[in-house]
Amino acid sequence: MAKLQAPSGFRDFLPDAQRKRNELIRRIRAVYESFGYEPMETPCMENLDVFLGKGGGENEKLMYRILKRGASLERALESKDELADLAMRFDLTVPLARYYATHRGELPAVFKRYQIGPVWRAERPQHGRFREFVQCDIDVLGSTSMAVEADVILTVATALADLGFSGLTVRLNSRPLLRVLCEKSNVPKEAIDRYIILLDKIDKQPWDELNSDMLALGCQQSELDWFKGLYDYVKESKEYDPRELFKEIGAKVGDKGNPYVAQIQEVLELTPPLPSGKLVFDPFLARGMDYYTGPIFEVAAEGVPFSLAGGGRFDELIGKLGGQPTPACGFSIGFERVYTLMDERNMFAGATGAADALVVVPDAAGRAEALNLGAELRSAGLRIDVYPGEAKAVKQYELAERKGIPFAVQAGPEAGKVTLRDLKTRKNEILARAGAAAWLKGKA
């Protein structure tokens, strides 16, 4: 066998990592479900057409395509036609649009859904970029109400707080407001998209560089100065008065922009207090994707230099992808970032070893009794591994430690007794067999 590695850019997960990933999915799912978001699933691959020219942007270029088969492949090769008929999903949003078009009639009038699953992109392998990675999205389809924004924001902030992140800041802006602001600041119309992309870097890149890039787009220095002044005001005065900001921005955008300012104010008013952190208006938040049509948001946590979640309203995308116009708003937790961060910071305190105890098998004659003892303890609600085979006790203890199992149990030394060993302290205790489950539960 030539290559005994996972393909380049793909990952295997060892048990310890997988337990943490499962735990993370379980906890995010529990919060999503506690807000009434419903699970659903689409296939991992779709007909190729579904993905072509459908708002995937750069991601469309990174799509993995599935080779046609048999006669249909031969025909395609002869006629130099498309060689693929299916493709792997590169996000969960395009498949959602297709799903919604297929099943609209079977779904609630306002559809709150979540999906947690892998997506695939042929990214150039580099640190922290994977070709197969998990996304976990919530979306609400079918409502234009700003209560939806409040709902998705509270849901995601609750999930992150539940995972142990503190000092969350949910930054809120509006994509159409940002466009009006650009227009009113005399950014040339055709340069607005590129301007927004530059703006997205304002927290990461020196202002001088951005300023000259923006000038090169045809922006006016006086307008850039106004913008930079506002930025400094917001960033430097941590306790700035949002009313000042709304006044300043409101004056700049005038009648055309005021409905969007009102939307932002509505979201701020509607959203209940976040469990750990705050929701703030940030007129500099831009977001990368160009399909947003309303409020946009991102979450940052204290001491974390990148955002943990992002989303916004996209009232046009579903119609474009699936046929019938449908308002929509979504928020997505960056699963891989969150996982890596929680792992680095030991935030998986709840994750346990492979079992609560290992039943040690003294010799071949003791195997049946060991398996029975395992079944007995399990029926008391414990997670019990039984050593699979026979080996020296020290080998068996080693296996337990390798699997993060804290205790070893062995039938004996006499009938009706068990020996319990704490594998950390290496101390044994002899108990009545009937008391073993309670003893182990007491230690958990």
143-202 residues in contact with its own copies (CB under 8 A) are 143-145, 147-148, 150-151, 154, 158
Give Cα separations from 273 to 131, 234, 420 (angstroms): 37, 21, 49
| Upstream peptide bond of 413 is cis (omega within 30 degrees of 0) | yes
Backbone φ, ψ for residue 338 (5° rounding): -65, -45
Binding residue for its own copies (CB under 8 A) from 240, 262, 390, 393?
390
Q: Which is nearest to 313 in space by CA: 172, 182, 198, 154?
A: 172
Instruction: Decide if residue 132 touches its own copies (CB under 8 A).
Output: yes
For its own copies, give the closer residue by CB, 233 or 323.
323
Report the chain's C-alpha Rg in angstroms. 28
Six-digit token string for 389: 């085979």
Binding residue for its own copies (CB under 8 A) from 181, 299, 333, 405?
405
Rounded to whole angstroms, the Cα distance separating 375 from 340 reads 36
- Min dist. Cβ of residue 1 to its own copies (A): 7
Binding residue for its own copies (CB under 8 A) from 106, 208, 236, 414?
106
- The 3-state DSSP class for residue 386 equals strand
Contacts with its own copies, 354-383, as mask; x by CB under 8 A: xx--x--x-----xx-xxx-xx--x---xx
For its own copies, give the closer residue by CB, 213 or 319.
319
Residues 74-103 that bind its own copies (CB under 8 A): 83-84, 86, 88, 98-99, 101-103
Rounded to whole angstroms, the Cα distance separating 150 from 154 reads 6
User: Are 204 and 312 contacting, i.e. CB atoms less than 8 angstroms apart?
Assistant: no
- The 3-state DSSP class for residue 224 equals helix
Q: Are strands 427-432 and 407-411 parallel, antiparallel or unpaired?
A: unpaired
- Min dist. Cβ of residue 129 to its own copies (A): 15
Binding residue for its own copies (CB under 8 A) from 137, 282, 298, 385?
385
- For tokens 């009006």, the residue is 180
- Min dist. Cβ of residue 265 to its own copies (A): 12
Cα-Cα-Cα-Cα dihedral of 56, 60, 61, 63, to 10°? Answer: 140
Which segments of 271-334 does DSSP mark as H helices, in order? Answer: 317-322
Contacts with its own copies, 330-359, as mask; x by CB under 8 A: ------------------------xx--x-
Which window, 14-22, 162-170, 212-220, 300-308, contacts its own copies (CB under 8 A)?
Answer: 14-22
Residues 258-277 that bind its own copies (CB under 8 A): 269-273
- Min dist. Cβ of residue 61 to its own copies (A): 9
Rounded to whole angstroms, the Cα distance separating 286 from 175 reads 7
Binding residue for its own copies (CB under 8 A) from 27, 60, 118, 192?
118
397: Cβ–Cβ under 8 A, 6 or more apart, which residues? 360, 408, 421, 423
Backbone φ, ψ for residue 283 (5° rounding): -65, -5
Residues 33-72 that bind its own copies (CB under 8 A): 33-47, 49-50, 54, 64-67, 69
- Min dist. Cβ of residue 20 to its own copies (A): 10
Backbone φ, ψ for residue 419 (5° rounding): -110, 120
- Min dist. Cβ of residue 211 to its own copies (A): 36
Contacts with its own copies, 286-305, as mask; x by CB under 8 A: --------------------
Q: What is the H or E stretch that residue 183 is in?
A: helix 175-184
- Min dist. Cβ of residue 235 to its own copies (A): 29
For its own copies, give the closer residue by CB, 11 or 235.
11
User: Are 420 and 439 contacting, i.e. CB atoms less than 8 angstroms apart?
Assistant: yes
Which window, 109-117, 162-170, 195-203, 242-250, contacts its own copies (CB under 8 A)?
Answer: 109-117
- Min dist. Cβ of residue 205 to its own copies (A): 30
Rounded to whole angstroms, the Cα distance separating 118 from 156 reads 19
Axis-axis angle for helices 221-236, 207-216 (nearest 10)? 150
- Min dist. Cβ of residue 18 to its own copies (A): 4
For its own copies, give the closer residue by CB, 337 or 403.
403
For its own copies, give the closer residue by CB, 40 or 192.
40
Binding residue for its own copies (CB under 8 A) from 180, 245, 253, 321?
321
Six-digit token string for 53: 């020219």
For its own copies, give the closer residue by CB, 27 or 54.
54
